[in-house]
Amino acid sequence: MIPSLQNAVILVDENDREIGTMEKIEAHRSGALHRAFSVFLFNASGEMLIHRRSAQKYHCAGEWSNACCSHPLPGVDIADCVSSRLRYEMGIEANLFKAFEFKYRAELDNGLIEHEYDHIYTGRYDGIPDPNPAEADAWRYVSAPALRSEMAETPDAFTPWFRMLFEKVVHHHAATDRSFQQF
């Protein structure tokens, strides 16, 4: 069965070469490696924008995570998907830059598996988000030291990919943007 494009993920090999598509929930049930993207935004003070995933989400509901994350649509440029999804989820327009790629696998508490070849984007945003309530029910800006402390005290309050990516993103951001010395 061919999945509809809105519910499909792009299956990839270990080198991010496309090998097909699969219905999104099936990919998360089977643990199939698929393409994803994650957006990390920082304000002028160097604080990271995070959001709490809506209780309506089918996995990691109520957990804190990066500004936006999703899956690119088959046949659509990933950068276009990233910008469009950031607008949809958080009501944000921002200049985004590809930072790096990251492959991970995480077993979730509801029997689903995140196995993603994740394209990481970063950018600057100083405004007030207007989140889609189906995606996020809270947001905040927070410093890296405060996030480190919070994640050490309550790691399960954060999505698995966010916990895995946090330090790598912070180090990348500090290395590429000299104005953020607090990291």
The position carrying tokens 């500004």 is 67
Answer yes or no: are the C-beta atoms of 34 and 10 closer than 8 Å.
Answer: yes
Check if 116 is active-site.
yes
- What pLDDT, on the 0 to 100 scale, is given for residue 143? 96
Q: Which of 89, 114, 116, 135 is catalytic?
A: 116
Residue spans of the domains in the chain: they are 5-176
Q: d(Cα 76, Cα 64) in Å, to the nearest integer?
A: 28
CATH code for the structural domain at 5-176: 3.90.79.10
> Which structure tokens are listed for 57?
């989400």
Residue 127: pLDDT above 60?
A: yes
3-state SS class at 173? helix
Q: d(Cα 70, Cα 104) in Å, to the nearest integer?
A: 14
Check if 60 is active-site.
no
Residue 172: pLDDT above 90?
A: no
- What pLDDT, on the 0 to 100 scale, is given for residue 177? 67
Q: Which of 47, 63, 68, 69 is catalytic?
A: 69
Which of the two residues, 74 and 1, has the higher pLDDT score? Answer: 74
Q: d(Cα 149, Cα 30) in Å, to the nearest integer?
A: 34
> Which structure tokens are listed for 148?
């480190």
Answer yes or no: are the C-beta atoms of 12 and 35 closer than 8 Å.
Answer: yes
**Residue 84: its H or E element:** helix 78-90
- What pLDDT, on the 0 to 100 scale, is given for residue 181? 41
Angle at 119 between CA 114 and CA 124, to 5 degrees: 120
Tally the residues of the chain: 183
Q: What is the mean pLDDT of residues 109-135?
A: 95
The whole-chain average pLDDT of the chain stands at 92
